[in-house]
């Protein structure tokens, strides 16, 4: 196929985007083991947790313990989400090596997520980005609802581009474009990234698809053909809320890596080790993995033979 990159950096967001929605408490040790297994599988960026208000996201209230408890692998970065200066202070106290700030292309979603309109959130985030950069921490910026909002419907491309530009002006090294509700389809996704890249450049962009309507892989392929080389994903398809109809996790990292390797695109990820990480966390959560690959008997048996004692 034409126009595909030779290499893609997969940004693993399962420990954060995936686990933030779990209805039952997840042990800190399970989170740490997951993050360590993902790094051991070859992922170079593993978003570890969030230093947001525990009133808003109780599931990640142990962010400090998670980040402090990790055995960090060389060459791997463990970004964390921060919503405000308080979050940045907490992230620094826990030894964060990089941070991500987040806003949206829709005011209603932004208010529901952070109690601030988009412009209020950008005002709140500007000092966070500059303090993080002054402390030597790279800053990623997320934009939610880039292909549609659950409350406002269609989102104008100009709005997405304007917010991306604001985040770049604040010093974000990368902008992750979030299809929060998995509403996009391939042509719309490609048009959107090309539009934003007209202002930011393609090299600064990442894509972040939730798989609500099963469109993620098709959308990612269309974005790769447009020049995208950074893709977010969640191991075992973690994410979504079992109590909110239709909410869904990100594209499963296993399925993404399978597609990329099939296209001869390098990721540096050991697919078998990744599937095992997905099995292990799914076992800990008491359910089957939500990746297509992780449900295949051939991967189940591969896992069993690896897990068997050697003697
Ligand atoms: P607020 O209620 O307007 O702010 O929340 P506040 O300053 O009044 O704080 C409320 C309480 O939280 C206070 O505690 C603060 O001290 C405390 P109280 O006095 O009531 O006991 N607080 C904090 N505690 C610890 N760490 C902090 C912190 N900040 C305040 N950093 C706020 C505003 C932004 C804080 C809140 O709305 C919030 O934390 N929102 C986060 C929501 C969130 O994490 N959403 C999920 C991540 S975004 C996402 O998933 C989308 C993405 O994946 C891309 C995509 O898919 O589209 C990235
Ligand atoms: Mg997300």
Domain boundary assignment for the chain = 9-302
Task: Select which of 149, 172, 223, 241 is catalytic.
Answer: 241
* 87 Cβ inside 6 Å of ligand 1: yes
CA of 205 to the centre of ligand 2 (A): 15
**Does the beta carbon of 109 lie inside 6 Å of ligand 1?**
no
Distance between CA atoms of residues 227 and 250, nearest Å: 21
Among the atoms of ligand 1, which is closest to the Cα of residue 116?
Answer: 3
Q: Residue range 237-256: average pLDDT?
A: 85
Three-state secondary structure call for residue 235: helix
- pLDDT the model gives residue 245: 66
Determine whether the shortest distance from the Cβ of 240 to ligand 1 is under 6 A: no
Reported pTM = 0.96
pLDDT at 247: 76
In the structure, what pLDDT confidence band is assigned to residue 306 with cuts at 50, 70 and 90? very low
Atom 31 in ligand 1: residue holding the nearest Cα: 87
pLDDT of residue 307: 45
Q: Are 204 and 171 in contact (CB under 8 A)?
A: no
Q: Is 149 part of the annotated catalytic residue set? A: no
DSSP 8-class letter at 251: P
Which numeric CATH code is attached to 9-302?
A: 3.20.20.70
Query: Six-digit token pair at 307?
Result: 């897990």
pLDDT digits (tens, 9 = 90+) for 179-217: 999 999 999 999 999 999 999 999 999 999 999 999 999
- In this structure, the dihedral spanned by the alpha carbons of residues 32, 33, 36 and 40, taken in order and rounded to 10 degrees, is -170
Nearest residue to 236 via CA among 180, 181, 299, 142: 299
The H-or-E segment that residue 140 falls in is strand 139-144
pLDDT higher than threshold 80 for residue 309: no
């Amino acid at each position: 196929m034409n126009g595909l990159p030779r290499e893609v950096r997969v940004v693993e967001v399962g420990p954060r985007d995936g686990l933030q929605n779990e209805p039952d408490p997840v042990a800190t040790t399970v989170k740490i083991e997951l993050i360590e297994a993902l790094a051991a599988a070859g992922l170079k960026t593993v978003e570890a947790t969030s230093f947001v208000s525990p009133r808003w996201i109780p599931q990640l209230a142990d962010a400090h313990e998670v980040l402090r408890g990790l055995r960090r692998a060389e060459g791997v970065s463990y970004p964390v989400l921060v919503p405000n200066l308080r979050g940045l202070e907490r992230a620094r106290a826990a030894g964060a090596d990089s941070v991500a700030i987040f806003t949206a292309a829709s005011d209603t979603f932004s208010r529901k997520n952070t109690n601030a309109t988009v412009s209020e959130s950008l005002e709140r985030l500007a000092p966070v980005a500059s303090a993080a950069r002054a402390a030597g921490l790279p800053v990623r910026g997320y934009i939610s609802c880039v292909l549609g909002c659950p409350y406002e419907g269609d989102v104008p491309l100009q709005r997405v581009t304007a917010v991306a530009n604001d985040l770049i002006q604040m010093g974000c090294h990368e902008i992750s474009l979030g299809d929060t509700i998995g509403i996009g389809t391939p042509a719309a996704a490609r048009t959107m990234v090309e539009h934003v890249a007209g202002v930011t450049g393609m090299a600064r962009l990442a894509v972040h698809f939730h798989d609500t309507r099963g469109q993620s892989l098709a959308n990612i392929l269309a974005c790769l053909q447009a020049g995208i080389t950074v893709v977010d994903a969640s191991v075992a398809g973690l994410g979504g809320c079992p109590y909110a109809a239709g909410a869904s996790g990100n594209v499963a990292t296993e399925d993404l890596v399978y597609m990329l390797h099939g296209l001869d695109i390098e990721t540096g990820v050991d697919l078998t080790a990744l599937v095992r990480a997905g099995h292990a966390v799914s076992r800990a959560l008491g359910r089957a993995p939500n990746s297509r690959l992780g449900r295949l008997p051939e991967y189940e048996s591969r896992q069993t033979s690896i897990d068997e004692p050697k003697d």
